Amino acid sequence: MEYTERGKLSIKTEFTSRKRNQIIVSISLIAMIILFVVFGENPDHVMLGMPATVWGPAFVVLFTGGIGFSLFNWRCPACNKYLGKSLNPKFCSKCGAPLT
């Protein structure tokens, strides 16, 4: 598929914002995993005045939400297909749209 210069620019702009969101979500998920591991080893640990019994389910909800957002967000702006595991694809592997 051929793209106009304006089309390419809007794809790149959209991809840049999706990539930023993806990095934020990835860092949040990694932070949650670390906290989850810490809590797993110290079930009596209290964080921000709330015990692990409160944080456990909250983590599960946030983590699931983060994964869901990631799957929804990490898509090609042109064809809306999932971009895979690479955090810095140059082209969409599905439709070939230039992303950077």
- 25 forms part of the interface with Zn ion (CB under 5 A): no
- Work out which of 11, 25, 76, 99 binds Zn ion, going by CB under 5 A: 76
Contact flag: residue 60 with Zn ion (CB under 5 A): no
DSSP 5-48: HHHHHHHHHHHHHHHHHHHHHHHHHHHHHHHHHHHHH-TT-EET
Q: With contacts defined by CB under 5 A, how many residues of the chain interact with Zn ion?
A: 7
Nearer to Zn ion by C-beta: 52 or 76?
A: 76
For the four alpha carbons of 51, 35, 70 and 9, in that order, the dihedral sign comes to: positive
Check if the beta carbon of residue 97 is closer than 8 Å to that of residue 91. yes
Rule CB under 5 A: choose which of 36, 79, 85, 87 binds Zn ion.
79
Q: Binding residues for Zn ion, per CB under 5 A?
A: 76, 78-79, 92, 94-95, 97
